[in-house]
Homo-oligomer: A and B are copies of this chain.
Amino acid sequence: MDTRTGLPVVGMVGGGQLARMTHQAAISLGQSLRVLSVSPDDSAALVAADVRIGAHTDLAALREFAKGCEAVTFDHEHVPTAHIEALEAEGVKIFPGSAALMFAQDKGLMRTRLAALGAPVPRWSAVSSSSDISDFSGGTWPVVAKATRGGYDGRGVWMLSSPEEAAELVATGTPLIVEEEVPLRRELAALVARSPFGQVAAYPVVETVQKDGICVEVLAPAPGLSESRALEAQQLAIDLANALGVVGLLAVELFETEDGIVVNELAMRPHNSGHWTIEGARTSQFEQHLRAVLDYPMGETSLTAPAVVMANVLGGEPGGMSIDERLHHLFAEDPGARVHLYGKLVRPGRKIGHVTVLGDDMTSVRARAARAAQWLQEGR
């Protein structure tokens, strides 16, 4: 507890934009997020009062960081499972716990566990040699290879078109799984939050739009999704949160096919597919995550407008207008666009922020969000 305020201290390992936006949410709850950041120039370290510099791979740093925290949680999945287990053994309240988080850290473990739970997953196989991949393909290419650990934003995913490509990838030594290429209609995401008490709150199911493996847009609620399919996705996420014992947020990334839904990925932290909740839901995912790890009752998850669209702002090519000039132009162009910049210098393809637009009509809201993100990305 912070004796200056009588309110709890939550520590978040990692100083990226998720920690930055969680700090924003913490302020409303009377808190100040403690951040473990690799660099003082990291996104969250630029804005938080209580920043500790240290590596998430350094157990001593984690141990020191956790002192005085009511709960410790994560901005990313990269803390070694053994470190989390060590902290748990020492009595640190760390959420999600190692027993849950390992399924978000390792795709092989995740696929095995999900299959055991009877959750819908793509056809898949563990890989220990390139012949495993060829056997899995049965001569039908392409197949999808995924690094079991550490991939994100399209990194760590490969479409393999031949046994030769499979052999080349396996030769790099990256631990892999292989999956069928799912004939998907689109991608969805189901976001829930679960507290230690066991309360689970589910957000409306959204559609996520990817480009080159990076999420570019999120549409809330997912347009044209039947109520039964939406309920099925929410129920699946709730069941997984309970079965895995997740505390905090669980984002279930889904493929929608002609026949139903299958689980693509799990994330156990605030997630890009939930940034729209800052303005678009009664309780943002960031506040919800804090409420969950502190075992507060969950907040309302309902939409604040019939149509909400979040568009990521990716860094454009260097040169041209500065981000500040682009912001001026965007604000003149669309006074209703809600901008979130992460305090990151622009680099091509880097997520430097996002924009959210709310309204009554999904088509026009989506067009406005896309245009706003484009303005910030390229300027004119």
Contact = CB atoms under 8 A, between A and B. Distances in A.
Interface stretch (A21-29, A101-109, A205-213): A21-29
A345 B4 CA distance: 7
Interface stretch (A56-64, A85-93, A153-161, A336-344): A336-344
Contacts of A27: 20-21, 23-24, 47
Interface in A324-380: 324, 327-328, 331-332, 335-336, 338-346, 353, 358
A7 B291 contact: no
B297 A30 contact: no
A339 B29 contact: yes
A298 B45 CA distance: 28
A157 B202 CA distance: 50
Interface residues of A, number: 57
Interface stretch (A131-139, A246-254, A299-307): A299-307
A47 B24 CA distance: 9
Nearest to A21: B27
Contact of A6 (B1, B8, B322): B322
A300 B334 CA distance: 9
A100 interface: no
Nearest to A33: B47
A32 B46 contact: yes
Question: Mostly helix, strand, loop or mixed at chain A's interface?
Answer: loop
Contacts of A296: 327-328, 331
A194 to B, nearest CB: 15
Copy number in this complex?
2
Contact of A49 (B1, B47, B297): B47
A30 B323 contact: yes
A51 interface: yes
A283 interface: yes
A29 B1 CA distance: 30
A7 B343 contact: yes
Contacts of A23: 27, 47
Contacts of A45: 49
A2 B227 CA distance: 47
A282 interface: yes
A118 to B, nearest CB: 31
Contact of A30 (B30, B336, B342): B342
Contacts of A304: 304-305, 358
A48 interface: yes
A39 B291 CA distance: 29
Interface string A14-46: 000000110110111111100000000100011
A294 B358 CA distance: 25
B32 A336 contact: no
Given A20-B27, A28-B338, A28-B341, 15 more contacts: A5-B345, A6-B322, A6-B324, A6-B345, A7-B327, A7-B343, A8-B324, A26-B47, A30-B353, A45-B49, A282-B338, A282-B358, A291-B331, A296-B328, A299-B331
